Amino acid sequence: MTVKRVVIIGGGAAGMSAASRVKKLRPEWDVKVFEATEWVSHAPCGVPYVVEGISPQEKLMHYPPEVFIKKRGIDLHLRAEVIEVESGNVRVREDETERTYEWDYLLFANGASPQVPALEGIDLPGVFTADLPPDAVAIRGYLEKNDVRNVVVIGTGYIALEMAEAFVAQGKNVTLIGRSERVLRKTFDPEVTGIVESKLRDHLNLRLEELTMHLEGRGRVEKVVTDAGEHPADLVIIATGIKPNTELARQLGVRMGETGAIWTNERMETSVENVYAAGDVAETRHIITGRRVWVPLAPPGNKMGYVAGSNIAGRVVHFRGVLGTSVTKFLDLEIGKTGLTEAEAIKEGYDVRTAFIKAKTRPHYYPGAREIHLKGVVDNETNRLLGVQAVGAEVLPRIDTAAAMISANFTTEDVFFTDLAYAPPFAPVWDPLIVLARVLKF
């Protein structure tokens, strides 16, 4: 029996899913994982909630390292940075020394990194990104050691909103600065973002279409200067996007996709034989359009790792692609989407019709009813549901249901006649998703 050597770069969700899958199918194989930090199987999505103080930092690891080492037999190397990749071997810096390890199969699962703008003052103490668990630890430490009253968050995406919430919830004076004209501009249509922006303005200083010029401070950050003025800042969060960590893959001559992430096929194979990529470093395809997309989210990242590990071990599994299904919140306002927005559908050449509705999450006679808005996007030619966006309360069940419907090529008629559950404590007899389908017509 031939024992294969598998090297995995990155111990996050995709890397550890792949490593665990290989060892499950090929327990005799040598599986090594190299993780540059001391965190493994970590959950970056939890960073805002550690900063807010509602979750302990140690819970950001789904499993402690001992589970992977002792129970699953994975040769896990923490604080081990891969510095060079060649055909058949990698060079790793660990314990202040460099070692070379050979591989028969290689998986790039080294994620993505924040895009930090080249601004004067960006290196001042008190300026942070919010990408990995060490960031949460550093931010919590800074809050405990310094008098932080004014917080500036630069960015208008998911992480920016979640970090803004973390500080608003702690009673800080928060300013959210974005150069775009809307928050969440790339993922939601204006009807939805308008409701989000109204909620934000109730709780923080929202500054849109404002360009950050530089940061100032003596010894630590004290203010953020934009093209429209100055904002006091005892702490600054940079949340201006992320980029895939492709440098090591480029060393090996791996093909990059049109999105800038690593090109992969449905088996998570790259253009180089026996080399795979999974998670935030890899691009995939959109389920609706078939186009190449880069969607750095946790659920597809975990599944990509599972698929890569399966195929490395000889079990053929295909990754089917993504819809970009996602959900977040700001205080008690929930926001979610799946599939294409109206803008995205039109850009892809679809002739669409849309509907935007307001509904309640309970019957009028049952206490606890809250408001939810839904937007649906439909292909006029086929009546196929292309996308759903939601904002308000109890968003997730509607978005998840819509994701399943879109994956199954539901038309608006299919949606309307879906037999969804009803009881007054849980939903109205006409569920908002069914109402949306009725308004969209078929």
Instruction: Label residue 62 exposed, middle or buried (CB < 10 Å: 0-12, 13-18, 19+).
Output: middle
Quote the CA–CA distance of 11 and 89 in Å, as a whole number.
Answer: 18
DSSP-assigned beta bridge partners for residue 329: 334
Instruction: Label residue 201 exposed, middle or buried (CB < 10 Å: 0-12, 13-18, 19+).
Output: exposed
106 neighbors 276 (Cβ within 8 angstroms): yes
Catalytic residue among 4, 5, 45, 251: 45
Nearest to residue 217, comparing CAs of 126, 150, 296, 156?
126
State the DSSP string of 306-360. Answer: HHHHHHHTT-------B---EEEEETTEEEEEEE--HHHHHHTT--EEEEEEEEE
DSSP-assigned beta bridge partners for residue 339: 387
Enter the DSSP assignment of 88.
Answer: T
Please, what is the angle between helix 298-312 and helix 13-25, to 10°? 30
Nearest to residue 251, comparing CAs of 283, 275, 223, 218?
275
The CA distances from residue 289 to 88, 317, 349, 406, in Å, are 36, 21, 10, 12
Quote the CA–CA distance of 11 and 110 in Å, as a whole number.
Answer: 8
Residue 45 designated active-site: yes
DSSP-assigned beta bridge partners for residue 352: 379
The Cα angle at residue 292 between residues 287 and 13, in degrees rounded to 5: 80
The CA distances from residue 30 to 5, 71, 263, in Å, are 5, 15, 26
**Residues ≥6 apart with Cβ < 8 Å to 261:** 244, 246, 280, 281, 282, 283, 294
First to last CA, the chain: 59
| Catalytic residue list | 45
